[in-house]
């Protein structure tokens, strides 16, 4: 399974766009990129996912590089409630489901 690398922490000013990077240089062609976040000790919450194309939903945008070796999660107008740990994982389409989460990026939104 492809592994991911994320910075351990980031700060972002409230109201600004938060850009969270993820490196997944060993990703396979059938693996999706997923982003989740965890607020305090709650269960992780799904944010967005993509395979090749950029994706946008009501929460965020996902930009995947053309070679698929990295991606960026964009929270367009960060609020204090976006303070959380953000996890980037890759998941195969019908394959080994032995998926693991790394330590993620702790995003702190600064008032």
Partner 1 sequence: NAGVTQTPKFQVLKTGQSMTLQCAQDMNHEYMSWYRQDPGMGLRLIHYSVGAGITDQGEVPNGYNVSRSTTEDFPLRLLSAAPSQTSVYFCASSFRTGNYGYTFGSGTRLTVV
Under the binding rule (CB under 8 A), the answer on residue 53 touching partner 1 is no
Under the binding rule (CB under 8 A), the answer on residue 94 touching partner 1 is yes
Under the binding rule (CB under 8 A), the answer on residue 54 touching partner 1 is no
Looking at 75, 87, 88, 109, which residue binds partner 1 (CB under 8 A)? 87
Question: What tokens were used for 12?
Answer: 């972002």
Number of residues that bind partner 1 (CB under 8 A): 27
CB-based contact 107:64 (threshold 8 Å): no
Question: What tokens were used for 82?
Answer: 């976006």
Termini Cα distance of the chain: 38
Q: Stretches 57-65, 67-75, 76-84, 98-106: which one binds partner 1 (CB under 8 A)?
A: 98-106
Q: Which is nearer to partner 1, 72 or 92 (CB)?
A: 92
Complete edge-to-edge strand list for the sheet that includes strand 61-64 = 18-23, 70-75, 61-64, 55-56
CB-based contact 70:62 (threshold 8 Å): no
Under the binding rule (CB under 8 A), the answer on residue 92 touching partner 1 is yes
- We find the least distance from the C-beta atom of residue 19 to partner 1, in angstroms, to be 21
């Amino acid at each position: 399974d492809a592994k991911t690398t994320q910075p351990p922490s980031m700060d972002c000013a409230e109201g600004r766009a938060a850009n969270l990077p993820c490196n997944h240089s060993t990703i396979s062609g059938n693996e999706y990129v997923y982003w989740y976040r965890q607020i305090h000790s709650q269960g992780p919450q799904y944010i967005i996912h993509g395979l090749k194309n950029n994706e946008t939903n009501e929460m965020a945008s996902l930009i995947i590089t053309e070679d698929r070796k990295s991606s960026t999660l964009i929270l367009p107008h960060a609020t204090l409630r976006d303070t959380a740990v953000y996890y980037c994982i890759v998941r195969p389409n019908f394959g080994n489901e032995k998926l693991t989460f790394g330590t993620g990026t702790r995003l702190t939104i600064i008032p």
